[in-house]
């Protein structure tokens, strides 16, 4: 306790060196920033003006110039950054240092590979590892489950991890909990696939607290619009906000799009033309691979659909 309240420490040169307390931003609204120190204690902070905009998930250094205030004076390098356009189409950063994006799908609404591919491209382009989660396995007979496993095998061959889970069944749910261990994750996916249900199971105490707050203020569920970092058992963290759940593709060039398909990246330099769009160009290595069934026809068709939508 006393260490955290210590004043600046003088260095040899006589300049003041700031104590380097490590912390992570768990919420940020307006000018208020809530950080968590290494003992998991929360502090309300302000940031020095020379720092870039700070977001949920940032690792920072902070100090107490006096017992009443807490100042963030340094931002650590970010390993990843999640952004989306704001109302005016300008990039708005939502969260930082996310290790994995869980793309939630389900049998109801029916798994849509085209949409899954869009999420995979978006995740790959942010540099964050995507995991495919098929939720609601409790709805499936063994035979139907096998069908989904076959449909998702193409993704496993591309080295995407696929997890089968259910918010309504303990044993299946535990499969999901395990892959969150020691990581910072976010859940994305189409409406109705069960993101909120999974979140409520992962964060039971938070859910209870949100319920209390909204019944007290009468403001309903819109109290949390900014991103917030939550801790789970097993040193897992989860960042959630409506903005994150709307995660998707925007402002992507055709070149970048192809980078979101790992099976294309492996063959791209074999296309005859450098700016090949892998649509109908002669000497296209991707089309050849589709022909030989080395690349899935559906994945290529999905690429063409996304390409057409980006060119609109």
Q: Which residues bind Mg ion (CB under 5 A)?
A: 196
| Rounded Cα gap, residues 209 and 225, in angstroms | 16
Beta carbons within 10 angstroms of residue 217's beta carbon:
9
- Residue 193 interacts with, from Zn ion, ligand GDP, Mg ion, none (CB under 5-8 Å by kind): ligand GDP
Q: Is the peptide bond before 109 cis (omega within 30 degrees of 0)?
A: yes
Of 164-172, 178-186, 213-221, 276-284, the window that binds ligand GDP (rule: CB under 6 A) is 164-172
Q: Which is nearer to ligand GDP, 93 or 140 (CB)?
A: 140
Of 38-46, 79-87, 186-194, 246-254, the window that binds ligand GDP (rule: CB under 6 A) is 186-194
Residue 46: name the closest of 54, 38, 56, 58 by CA: 54
* 96 touching Zn ion, by CB under 5 A: no
Instruction: Provide the minimum distance between the beta carbon of 110 and ligand GDP in the complex, in angstroms, as a whole number.
Output: 13
Q: Which is nearer to Zn ion, 11 or 280 (CB)?
A: 280
* 286 touching Zn ion, by CB under 5 A: yes
Backbone angles phi, psi at 145, to 5 degrees: -60, -40
Instruction: Provide the minimum distance between the beta carbon of 153 and Zn ion in the complex, in angstroms, as a whole number.
Output: 25
* 191 touching ligand GDP, by CB under 6 A: yes
Interacting residues with Zn ion (CB under 5 A): 271, 276, 278, 284, 286
Contacting residues toward ligand GDP, per CB under 6 A? 135-136, 138-139, 166-168, 191-197
């Amino acid at each position: 306790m006393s260490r955290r309240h210590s004043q600046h420490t003088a260095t040899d040169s006589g300049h003041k060196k700031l104590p380097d307390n490590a912390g992570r931003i768990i919420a940020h609204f307006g000018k208020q920033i809530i950080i968590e120190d290494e003992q998991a204690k929360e502090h309300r902070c302000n940031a020095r003006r020379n720092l870039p905009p700070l977001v949920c998930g940032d690792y920072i250094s902070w100090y107490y110039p006096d017992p009443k205030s807490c100042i963030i004076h340094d931002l650590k390098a970010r390993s990843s950054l999640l952004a989306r356009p704001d109302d005016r189409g300008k990039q708005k950063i939502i969260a930082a240092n996310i290790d994995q994006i869980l793309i939630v799908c389900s049998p109801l609404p029916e798994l849509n590979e085209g949409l899954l591919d869009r999420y995979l491209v978006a995740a790959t382009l942010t540099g964050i590892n995507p995991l495919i989660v098929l939720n609601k396995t409790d709805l499936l007979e063994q035979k139907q489950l096998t069908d989904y496993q076959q449909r998702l095998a193409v993704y496993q061959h591309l080295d995407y991890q696929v997890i089968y889970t259910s918010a309504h069944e303990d044993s299946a749910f535990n499969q999901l909990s395990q892959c969150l261990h020691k990581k910072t994750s976010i859940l994305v996916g189409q409406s109705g696939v069960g993101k909120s249900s999974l979140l409520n199971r992962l964060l039971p105490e938070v859910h209870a607290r949100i319920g209390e707050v909204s019944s007290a203020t009468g403001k309903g569920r819109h109290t949390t619009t900014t991103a917030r970092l939550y801790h789970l058992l097993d040193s897992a963290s989860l960042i959630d906000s409506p903005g994150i759940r709307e995660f998707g593709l925007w402002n992507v060039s055709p070149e970048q799009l192809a980078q979101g398909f790992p099976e294309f990246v492996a063959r791209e330099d074999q296309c005859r033309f450098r700016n090949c769009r892998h649509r109908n160009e002669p000497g296209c290595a991707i089309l050849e691979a589709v022909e030989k069934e080395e690349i899935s026809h559906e994945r290529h068709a999905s690429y063409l659909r996304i390409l057409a939508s980006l060119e609109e």
